[in-house]
Structure 1
């Protein structure tokens, strides 16, 4: 594939849609017909089909390859976090931190209130850490153990964990996505966080009520198996030593995060602290600790619930997720470089009328980017750069856009199994363990906060509530910074004349 044309053609809407629809069709066939969840090969097929479309449009292979590599480089910080999360899980299990949370959770928490408590705990930890992935892999894993002890279906526990963890990722000033959305749209970080409260807080409260009701119904529908809980707690206490030192690694990481240390070094310090505790308190050998960091923790207590839950972690446990993220990023980069994403966005925008249409288009584009590009950062960066000039041209504050990006980007990410966020959830919580198949994805409709917040945002827009017009200060700032401004009428005229209707959307490497 050596074709090299100076001016490649822009894809038509059917041509831009072809590789995306074909890839989704193969994924659906694999998932719903074959009952398997291995999205790597369908996404690679999508890359190949997109490359053929690009070649047909006149793009040379070298340009397409560079487009893929540029977007993969954007995802390198995500991959680094995944590696550290894998190391953290393995070492924190060895240190006793995760087992201690499971032990006291089974002792102190009532089954009726467990789901609500799980969501709230994950929300607090995620706000403090600024990383939903780290929260899911550590506290979320411990909560899965508590839920298993209570006999609560794992998809209910996972739904509560995801609701809480990604709520924190959405509103924490330490979170990458919370900082990325205002940076892309040119608004103040804390103004952005305040503007998300009208959708975020009601969504969390409604989800909390649902989990309280569900917890009571689930608890009433079964007899609490005290023998199983006793077997789990005795198995944990017999294998691990529990004291306050064991909680030092997670508390240290939370303290460093509150002190505004970035996630990567904070997690690495957490790995070192966990290794020290595992060596000093649990009596683990140094050689074994290296093995836990690489391949995950391994033990055999004779209690199946403990062994299945705690035999995990390590860098290699994240290999499946990391490969998926890299393939999805390459797919998204190729779609972006040949103009498929721009063509789809432009086709939507020429039909938009008013702020409701803009908000629907922005959040839908972020969600669609999550589906086809597989990365929450791209789902914010790409549509953010595309839509910001339109919001300015129509006289609306880009705070409206930044909120829509978070709701369609951050919150939808864990609901897409082949997205980085969804893959972390499925892998870290063991939802596909033992060939669970489709059953492992039942957490998706049960992550209520992730669904409710975007829906509330659209409802508010339909009712004309919490929509911010750009004031004179914001307009002056646009002018001072040289931000692009395009009205919907101008965009429709450009499309009619066959001109490029959207600004370049490629994000800078973070």
Structure 2
């Protein structure tokens, strides 16, 4: 029937209805002074998907069977990426329990020079987040250490916080074991290592610029004194060396992961090998029992597994740094997988009538070149993270909006996947209403107004992405032309 035809007006209505419900669930309760009714992004999206499903069944020719097939197909396509995430959890536990992460933090702190406090904050957080794949974990561990060091020597805490966040997010993006990196590669249907390599084009220059600025800041805004032997740092170093045995062989799992990344080996086998080697090294060099190793594999490392050393206990009113080592395990990303499934279900519902691409296509219908499509996708990412407050949702929606358009203009999907992270992931911390914004301010104790301008990697990267989009540098244009020529030759 004619009144059941899928039109642009109905596609736009479904999209707007979805956005209004999600934004309403996320922001209205806070605005009216009832934050207890605020919903999580995934629950808001699921509720919106249910309402939109009813709309689609009532006003289009699509049935519930069509909607369900579209939603489950969306989830099915992401299964490989979710399997990678299930391997990452044990890998993080192995990195900690083997002593690799504690060793890197231990020697990293010893290298700190007061004048280079800002640059070292960047570099140490890069190292930590690359090894663990966790931006938040880096901020909450080595980031807190650096804030403590900065406070003790009278450094500018806004700059320290900005350097910590910049390093944590750069390392997280480049790490092949990062949850957000895996989710984005999965969302945009890009090989994990190709996605990581593509991000070097944007976050690489931003990080170099940041490092130069932080080195200069060490002389322009020098610390008041040079004492880094605070009781908190000394206690942390003693705890790490007392709990773990350090040696160069602990670097082997890291070398395996880096080798697999450079050589573009299949991610899952590489990570599984690294997991096995990590726990093997744990059994050889550390004092944990076999049952504790098996427990850590499933549910992560716990401090109470250490029985041979009396480590520092929590002090009321102070952040307990050692507690942040209690993570990893097979179920570490269990809640993330559930969130992804919910987001994919929501995206799949909208995909039933091609709602989002059609709506955004009408808005950006004048984008008729490679550069305009890339730049428009950057601005779209900013709008998506501002409204959804969820980097994973941003990645999936970016693909739904721009995937076909990128293919139409023969733009490599690696450009789209990195754009999703350059905006959706990196800009989230500047928005106080997002989980990342709240986490950073709460954890580091510095408001956005103080660290914002100094979080150089996060805010410069989108500008680098726009520059590359306008110039064509780093957009794999020649590679795309070769693919077109090959397709033409093959008829």
Q: TM-score, normalised by structure 2?
A: 0.73
- Aligned partner of 1:500 in structure 2 is none
Structure-2 change in CA distance of 1:340 and 1:29 (3 Å): same
1:445 Cα deviation (Å)? 7.7
> d(CA) in 2 for partners of 1:13 and 1:440?
35
- Aligned partner of 2:250 in structure 1 is 246
> d(CA) in 2 for partners of 1:365 and 1:382?
12
Structure-2 change in CA distance of 1:448 and 1:326 (3 Å): farther
Query: Aligned to 2:294, which of 290, 293, 302?
Result: 290
- Aligned partner of 1:414 in structure 2 is 425
1:406 Cα deviation (Å)? 3.9
After TM superposition, the structure 1 = structure 2 runs for residues 237-276 of structure 1, keeping only pairs within 5 Å, are 237-276=241-280
Contact 1:384/1:402 (<8 A) preserved:
no
> d(CA) in 1 for partners of 2:162 and 2:217?
12
After TM superposition, the structure 1 = structure 2 runs for residues 154-165 of structure 1, keeping only pairs within 5 Å, are 156-165=163-172
After TM superposition, the structure 1 = structure 2 runs for residues 414-433 of structure 1, keeping only pairs within 5 Å, are 414-415=425-426, 431=439
> d(CA) in 2 for partners of 1:296 and 1:464?
44
- Aligned partner of 1:451 in structure 2 is 459
- Aligned partner of 2:19 in structure 1 is 20
> d(CA) in 2 for partners of 1:250 and 1:114?
26
Contact 1:23/1:42 (<8 A) preserved:
yes
1:262-318 CA-to-partner distances (Å, cap 9, x unmatched) read: 222222222211211222211211111121122221115224434322122223332
Contact 2:137/2:324 (<8 A) preserved:
no
1:48 Cα deviation (Å)? 1.8
Contact 1:115/1:211 (<8 A) preserved:
yes
Q: Are residues 1:51 and 2:59 paired?
A: no
1:478 Cα deviation (Å)? 5.5
- Aligned partner of 2:331 in structure 1 is 316
Contact 1:120/1:164 (<8 A) preserved:
no
> d(CA) in 1 for partners of 2:29 and 2:272?
37
Query: Aligned to 1:41, which of 43, 47, 52?
Result: 43
State which drifts further: 340-349 or 455-464. 455-464
Contact 1:426/1:432 (<8 A) preserved:
yes
RMSD: 4.7
- Aligned partner of 1:65 in structure 2 is 68
1:436-481 CA-to-partner distances (Å, cap 9, x unmatched) read: 9997999988653343233234346668988998898665445457
> d(CA) in 2 for partners of 1:317 and 1:377?
21
Structure-2 change in CA distance of 1:62 and 1:368 (3 Å): farther
Structure-2 change in CA distance of 1:307 and 1:440 (3 Å): farther
Contact 1:294/1:314 (<8 A) preserved:
yes
Structure-2 change in CA distance of 1:348 and 1:264 (3 Å): same
1:49 Cα deviation (Å)? 2.5
After TM superposition, the structure 1 = structure 2 runs for residues 299-338 of structure 1, keeping only pairs within 5 Å, are 299=303, 301-304=311-314, 305-338=320-353
1:52-102 CA-to-partner distances (Å, cap 9, x unmatched) read: 232233221121111111111222233223222221222222221111111
> d(CA) in 2 for partners of 1:333 and 1:312?
32
- Aligned partner of 1:87 in structure 2 is 90
Contact 1:177/1:377 (<8 A) preserved:
yes
1:229 Cα deviation (Å)? 0.9
> d(CA) in 2 for partners of 1:182 and 1:43?
22
State which drifts further: 434-443 or 452-461. 434-443
- Aligned partner of 1:501 in structure 2 is none
Mark the runs of 5 or more structure 1 residues left unpaired by the alignment.
393-397, 483-510
Structure-2 change in CA distance of 1:124 and 1:476 (3 Å): farther
Structure-2 change in CA distance of 1:91 and 1:452 (3 Å): same
State which drifts further: 461-470 or 96-105. 461-470
Query: Aligned to 1:387, which of 405, 416, 433?
Result: 405
Contact 2:163/2:456 (<8 A) preserved:
no
> d(CA) in 1 for partners of 2:440 and 2:477?
46
Q: Are residues 1:349 and 2:364 paired?
A: yes
Contact 2:299/2:332 (<8 A) preserved:
yes
1:23 Cα deviation (Å)? 0.4
1:99-133 CA-to-partner distances (Å, cap 9, x unmatched) read: 1111111112335535534645676899xxxx897
- Aligned partner of 2:153 in structure 1 is none
Contact 2:119/2:214 (<8 A) preserved:
yes
Contact 2:98/2:286 (<8 A) preserved:
yes
1:382 Cα deviation (Å)? 3.6
> d(CA) in 1 for partners of 2:352 and 2:261?
36
Structure-2 change in CA distance of 1:7 and 1:286 (3 Å): farther
Contact 2:166/2:458 (<8 A) preserved:
no
> d(CA) in 2 for partners of 1:160 and 1:293?
28
